[in-house]
Structure formats: structure tokens, C-alpha cells
Amino acid sequence: MGETKQSSFGVTADDLRRSDWQSRVWQAKNKECYGLCEGFTAAARECTTAKDDLGFRVFSFLNVVASFYPNYDIRGNPYGSMWSGFNGKRTLNAEDLCEDDLAALSGIVEEIQDPEFRARVADVLWVTKKDFKAARIAILAFLQASERLKTDDLWPPYVERLERAAQISAIRGFETERKTVVAALEAAIVEYENNTKAGLLCHHLMLALLGLKEGDAVHYAALSERLAKRFADAEDWHVAEAYWLLAEQWHRVAKKETEAQACLLAAAECNVSRGEEGLATQGAMFASYWVGRGVEALRRAKANPERIKTVHRRFLALQKQSLSELTTIKIDSLSNPEFVEAERVTQERSAAHVRGHDFQTALVRFANVTQPTDVEKLQQQHQEATKNTIFDKIAGASSIDHDGKVADTVPAAGVGNPEEEKEALRKRLCQQARTLNWPMHAVWYIEPARYAIVDEHVIRHRDLIFFVTNNPFIPPGHEGIYLRGIQAGFFGDWLTALHLLIPQVEASIRHVLNQYGIITSTLDSDGTQQERDLNQLLWIPDVERIIGANILFDLRGLLIERFGHNLRNESAHGLLPEGGFYQASSVYLWWLIVHLCWKGFHLGQLINANEGKEA
């Protein structure tokens, strides 16, 4: 059991009531939460001068709550730190509030007169405590706060509050509040649908309706088409495409497939038009990107084959290297009913493995929901698969990077010396793991268990502290980075998770080797020393002895092998596009790092045992 977190403010609900803090809110010129901070900060400063310690703590507390940076795209707790620095220092966020702090807010939430701050406090209580009463207060307060921020041009703050109200009301149990939110959204759409300055305002409002599964689909499909045509006539292709795609969604809801298909085609053509228009001013690289995107969009929209060919030729003229012809090998599981049933059963068992436990237990069980690749078994599978084929014996293979360039090659089997054959086998095993083993583990085991945990737990930073603190696998001072990366992965933010965690794996491998007394730096003739990077560390013979052949195979294949995913090198050098982080290998790597963090405690036991023997 961990120690109860102590409040940094020591403020109660009665302390808040006795202060004149609400007048500071009404005096604020900027009615958004961050605008309230100025008044709270000034009041805290005045209390310091007057040597009013309680007043200082009251206004400092309110200032922190107002300062939280909201990101409502994040599942879980959306209220992050307003500021963080390169040295690890940051302002407080909602996850830093302790039970006493939350109790103080709960005691006054219904008394807060300002709708903006009432919405903030109520929502913080909802996301941290799952307080349904507070959630109802937050929904209505967000609607009231939006009315004060209503505008046709600088509309994001206005829409953001409507969207947040919709997000909360979408949860089961808020049916009455949902009706109020729907009415507010529909009234706003009517108000702005003919305003040319509004841009994507109505698009966001209609998306909120779709998220609530509300609205007259036929009516909103027609409105979306009308707005798409208006912006296309103005050659505002980005906005036009967004409305065409929105119209397609409304038509799908209305079960009008023909109309939906036509909207998809129109949206695809917006990409082509955007590329052609930008050729003169932005250059061929810009134009090829958008025209290439248009080719793929037309294909997915099942456009006329001749039209696809025409646009494709245009794309090739602008950019000779075409990635659209590089396709991923996939297993046709639908052709094998037994395979499909096995997948379903395994997914259900994976979810059940972690469901119904407290978070700490669930996380440890999740770290072991599957196991790293069994290299020996993988090699047997490879030998069995190639036993009756001659293709690998008469032809080599190439690894293609994200730019379509040949990154590595492997010769045909049986044409080299034993050492070359060993290296070739390693590359082919990486290729096999990439196309089959890692995706299967991600889809069958990891993702079902991850969804089950997210469904039952909030997963705040403080919930993960136990997993990273005093962990022999994690270098001191790196705990917070691991914590954030693991949390991001639970919410499916693979871009953030991998950017945070991949460099940490390198630091951790070095840290573990150092604990075993293994030197991880070089010593040049001039006396300078340089740390070996992951491309060198993972080939140190002792690594296999310490972490095992199976984990080592996965780390090499996922991070530095070109016939694997080479994620470390491609991400470090900016070669990986955003979409490259959202793939099965990212899910598997993230889980493997969680597994290593769990295994880190066991590594610590081995290290201590090793030290005892040496002594």
C-alpha cells in the first residue's frame, strides 16, 4: 500500500467559502479559464503582502485549477500541465490533486457562479472521481460558458465547450442532459450555416451530433453537401473535402449508399485539385503529395478506373517513386473459419485475463498477457514453411523503407558460407515475425487486454508510479518519461508513446549492462569516450545472457533490423511518417517495453544475486 498523497494547499471547502474569490472571477476581462489565472495570481500576491497565509493558499489552489491545460482529444484525464520545461519541471495538473483537494472542490462546485469555472471544477471532479453529479453540472455549465464565447471567426473556444458537453453527455446515464446538448448543437448549426466566415464551425458541430448518434441524417447530409460545394467554388479545398466526407457519413446513417459514394468521390477530387492548384506556388513536392493522396482516395472511393489511371499518371509525372504499389502481405483469415474462431476465443481470453482486477494487478497481468517471440519455435516454423518450396533458394529478398528505397537485401538460401547463411536466416526470421508473429500478438492478445483495462480504469499518472519507481530497468530520473509513454500507449497515442519510449530503451539497456559491470562506452586514442548507441548495444554478447534470446530478438527486429521495423533508426532520423507509428509493431513494441519494466524487478534480483556471487 502506498502512502496517502498530501495536499500542497491544505484548503477546505469552508476555507474557499470564507474567501472573496468569486468576485475576482467576475472582474476578469477574459472569460476563459486561463484568463482567470491573472486575477487569482494577483490575489495570491496581495495575500502574501498582507501575510495572509490561508488566503495565499486559497488563491494559489484556484489558480492551479484554472491553469490546467485541456486536451479533450485525450481519453482519460484531459487536464494537463499548463507548462513543462526541458529540465523536467512543470506546473501541476489535475492528476496532482489529492483527495483533500478534490473534496474541497466538491464542496463548492454547486455554489460557483461563473459557468466557465463551474464547468472546469465539475469536469475535474468527473474525470478524477467519476462523480456523476459533477458531470451533470459540467455539461450544463459548458453549454452556458459556450454562449459567452460565441463568434463566427475565432470560434474554436466556443465549439470546444459544446464538444466537451457532448463528450460527457454521450456516456450512458446522461440522457436528459444529452437532449439539451443536442438542442444547443442544432440551434448553433442553424445560426451559422449561412455564414461564410464560419468555415469548419458547422462541421465540428455536426460531428458532435454524429458522435451522439443524433440529428436528421437526410437534412444534415444535404446541408453538408451544400457547404462543400460553397467552399469548393471558393477553391478552399481543405474545408470542401471535410464537408464532403461529413456528407458521406450522414448519407451512410441515412442508408443512402449511392449518395455516400458520390460524396467520397467528390472528397477525393478535392485532393487532386489542391495539388494542381498548389503546383505553381508550392512546387512539385507539394503537388505530388496531394495528387498522390487523391489517387488513393479515388481508389478507396471506387472511382472510374480510367479516372484513377489518369490521376495516377499525373502523380507519376510529379513523383516517380510511387508508394501506392507497395502493399502489405496480409493473412486472409476469412478463408479459414477455424483461424477466425481461434482469434475470437483468444481475444476474449486476453480481455478476461485483466478484467475485474484492481489496476496494479491488472497491469502486472497485462505485462504477461502474452510472451516475447519464441525464436526457436519461429525458426522451426520457418524451416517447415520453406521445406517444400524452392523460391527462397533461387531468389533473394529486399527490405523497402518508407520512401520506397531498398534498405537491405538477403541472398537466396544456400549460396553463402555458414556465417552468411546464419545472417540471412536471421533476416528472414525478422521478416516472418514482422508479417505474422508481431501483428498476431498485437491483435489477438495485447489490444483486447488494453481495451479491457482502459474500459475499467482511469489510468492516471499516479496509478503508474508504482510500476516505474525503483525499477532496476529504468535509470534514475527517467521514471516520468516511462510513465508518460506507458500511459500514452494505453490511450492508443502511439506517436507520443514511441517517441518517449524508444530512446528510453537504449538508456535502459545501457543502465542494465552498467549494473552488471559491463562497459558501454568507447575509449579513443585521444582519451575521448562515447556511449555506444542501440545499434551497438544490442550486439554485445552479454545482452542475450541478461535479457534472454527471445526478448533480444524482438528488440533487434523491432528497433534496429531493416528486415524488421527499424523503428529506432527511422524515428531518430525523422524518416518515419506519422502514420508509421500507428501499426501493429508499435503496439507490440509498447507492450514489450511494459513487459521489460515488469521484468526489470526480476532483473534486479538477478543483479543482486550476481553481485553476491562476485563478493
Q: What is the pLDDT of residues 372-396, one digit of tens each?
A: 988 888 888 767 765 555 444 434 4
Q: Which alpha helices (H) appear in 324-446, and where do they start and end?
A: 337-354, 359-367, 375-386, 391-394, 418-432, 438-441
Identify whether the C-beta of residue 367 lies closer than 8 Å to the C-beta of residue 598: yes
Q: Report how far residue 535's alpha carbon sits from residue 422's, in angstroms, rounded to the nearest whole number.
A: 19
Closest CA to 554 of 568, 564, 539: 564
pLDDT at 86: 36
Cell triple for residue 382? 520457418
Q: pLDDT value at position 486?
A: 94
Q: Which three cell numbers stand for residue 27?
A: 472582474
Cα separation, 467 vs 298, in Å, equals 47
pLDDT at 11: 93
**Confidence class for position 248, pLDDT limits 50, 70, 90:** very high
The highest-confidence range among 219-223, 283-287, 420-424, 453-457, by mean pLDDT, is: 219-223
| Average pLDDT for 28-33 | 81
All cell numbers assigned to 420: 552468411
What whole-number distance in Å separates Cα of residue 287 and Cα of residue 280? 9
Rounded Cα–Cα distance for residues 46 and 29 (Å): 19
Q: Which residue has the higher pLDDT, 493 or 167?
A: 167
539 or 235: which carries more pLDDT confidence? Answer: 235
Domain boundaries, the chain: 232-325, 337-614
The pairs formed by 576-582 with CB atoms below 8 angstroms and a separation of 24 or more are 576/402, 577/402, 578/495, 580/402, 581/494, 581/495, 581/498, 581/499, 582/494, 582/495
Q: Decide which of 212 and 83 is more confident.
A: 212
**Cell digits of residue 359:** 489496476
Contact 591, 446 (CB under 8 A): yes
Phi and psi of 84, rounded to 5°? -145, 145
> What pLDDT, on the 0 to 100 scale, is given for residue 382?
63
E strand spans, 219-290: none
- Averaged pLDDT, 285-289: 69
Rounded Cα gap, residues 150 and 159, in angstroms: 8
Q: Which residues pair with 523 in a beta bridge?
A: 529
Contact present, 546 and 400 (Cβ < 8 Å)? no
User: What is the mean pLDDT of the segment spanning 3-19?
Assistant: 85
Contact criterion met (CB below 8 Å) for 16 and 45:
no
Is residue 79 within a helix (H) or strand (E), and if so which, with residue range? strand 79-80
The whole-number pLDDT of residue 404 equals: 47
pLDDT given at position 524: 56
Assigned C-alpha cell, 426: 536471421
**Length of the chain measured in residues:** 615
Burial class of residue 131, CB neighbours in 10 A (0-12, 13-18, 19+): buried
Distance (Å, whole) CA 556 – CA 436: 16
* 563 vs 550, higher pLDDT: 550
Long-range contacts of 206-213 (CB under 8 A, 24+ apart): 206/246, 206/250, 207/246, 208/162, 208/163, 208/166, 209/166, 209/182, 209/185, 210/246, 210/249, 210/250, 210/253, 211/166, 211/167, 211/170, 212/166, 212/169, 212/170, 212/178, 212/181, 212/182
Q: What is the mean predicted confidence (pLDDT) over 185-189?
A: 96
Nearest of 114, 111, 187 to residue 145 by alpha carbon:
114
> Which helix (DSSP H) or strand (DSSP E) does residue 486 occupy?
helix 479-490
Least confident of 81-85, 361-365, 449-453: 81-85
DSSP result, 553-571: HHHHHHHT-TTTT-HHHHH
Cell (9 digits) for 385: 514453411
Quote the CA–CA distance of 530 and 522 in Å, as a whole number. 5
Q: What is the DSSP annotation of 504-559?
A: HHHHHHHHHHHHTT---EEE-TTS-EEE--HHHHTTSHHHHHHH-HHHHHHHHHHH
**φ, ψ at 456 (rounded to 5°):** -105, -15
How many CB atoms sit inside 10 A of residue 466's CB?
14
Assign 334 a pLDDT band (cuts: 50, 70, 90).
very low
Binned at pLDDT 50, 70 and 90, residue 526 comes out as: low
So what's the pLDDT on residue 2?
A: 45
Q: Strand pairing partners for 38?
A: none
User: What is the pLDDT of the chain when averaged over all its residues?
Assistant: 82
